[in-house]
Amino acid sequence: MIVPALGYDMLYAGSDDGVYRVESLGGADHSGTQVLESDRAYRVRSLDRLPGLFAATASALFHSPAGERWTDLGVPTEHEINAVGVTADGERLVVGTYPAHLYALDDAPARLADGGGAPAAADWHELTGFLDLPAREDWGLPRHDFQAHVRSIESHPGAPDRLAVGVEVGGVHVSEDRGETWTERREGTHDDVHELHVAGPERFVAATGFGCFYSEDAGRSWTELSADVEQQYYRAATVYEGDVYAGGANGPSPTWPEDEDPGLYVGRGGGPFEAIASPVPDEVVIGWTEAAGTLVAVTYAGTLLRLRADGFEVVGSVPTPGDVRGRYLPLAWLSE
């Protein structure tokens, strides 16, 4: 399958030095073209209720109406931008940082209108209720200078006022008033949350450094999907056609590629993980997106995989010029 070479209906991937557009999904020799040069990209997202693409990078949050021209949205912080999301009504754009803070841009559609220029720093404000979570003083690890990262910001139209965030290391937290006040949803999962995926009003998946967890009640209770498999380190997970997909490893990225021992898994209907075959069995899958009517994954080495009826196949690659340690390769599909 060949994807149009320019504009909409295109796969984008963040990498160690910015954002790449993948011109086609057709074979291992198809690589990406750089469209944004920046520091490491932690999240690249198309958001259902806002136009264009958003790239959360170590230095700034960027927006592009069609994946070509990018604007720094001027988040008023010197912190790394690790995550971006939007409220269910599309009106409030929210970013998360390292160290862990949340900032919001209200009336986002008007402020992001094409040709309107970048928002001013004064247009943003911090969601200070996030600072009041009771276990916040325990977040972080020594190797992170005892600071935490906001890794995911999620919403769903079936829960109009709800925002959910995943924090590394800090757990899952939920707001029922668009980010003003927050409740912990940590019990039953692990606090080292690398990605929180929201697949329905109540359906959450948490990929953590110590297992992959599933909830059907918005994080009030959790089931470990990975309890019966060897691999316990998960960088990302997703839900596709009702099934949970994730790639696991024996340990964190500083041990890769020498000692990752990858596994690729599916939890049918949210059930326990079952191993599935990978065409690159020596590479850990660390990113997912739905693209061109199917599921697409990326490994830490930049190999792109596509799900077919008979399993996954290699369909391209993303350049990975930097160090494997801490690498994130987020994927996003931009469609008109």
> Does the bond joining 119 to the residue before it have cis omega, within 30 degrees of 0?
no
Question: In percent, how much of the chain has pLDDT > 90?
Answer: 82
Residue 161 and residue 320: Cα distance in Å, rounded? 38
Average pLDDT over residues 285-302: 95
Residue 329 and residue 171: Cα distance in Å, rounded? 22
Nearest Cα to Cα of residue 129 among 147, 151, 97, 104: 104
**194 bridge partner residues:** none
Six-digit token string for 104: 């919001």
pLDDT for the residue 29: 61
State the pLDDT confidence band at 6, using cuts at 50, 70 and 90: very low
Average pLDDT over residues 118-145: 90
- Block residue for tokens 């690589």: 31
pLDDT for the residue 115: 55
Half-sphere exposure of 98 (CA within 13 A, CB side): 25
pLDDT tens digit sequence for 167-205: 999 999 999 999 999 999 999 999 999 999 999 999 999
Which is higher by pLDDT, 335 or 221?
221
State the pLDDT confidence band at 7, using cuts at 50, 70 and 90: very low
Half-sphere exposure of 103 (CA within 13 A, CB side): 24
89 pLDDT above the threshold of 50: yes
Average pLDDT over residues 26-32: 69
pLDDT for the residue 127: 98
Q: Which CATH superfamily is domain 38-281 in?
A: YVTN repeat-like/Quinoprotein amine dehydrogenase (2.130.10.10)
pLDDT for the residue 275: 98
State the pLDDT confidence band at 119, using cuts at 50, 70 and 90: confident
pLDDT for the residue 158: 97
pLDDT for the residue 28: 56
Specify whether the CB–CB gap between 331 and 13 falls below 8 A: yes
pLDDT for the residue 336: 64
Residue-averaged pLDDT of the chain: 92
pLDDT for the residue 8: 47
Average pLDDT over residues 134-154: 90
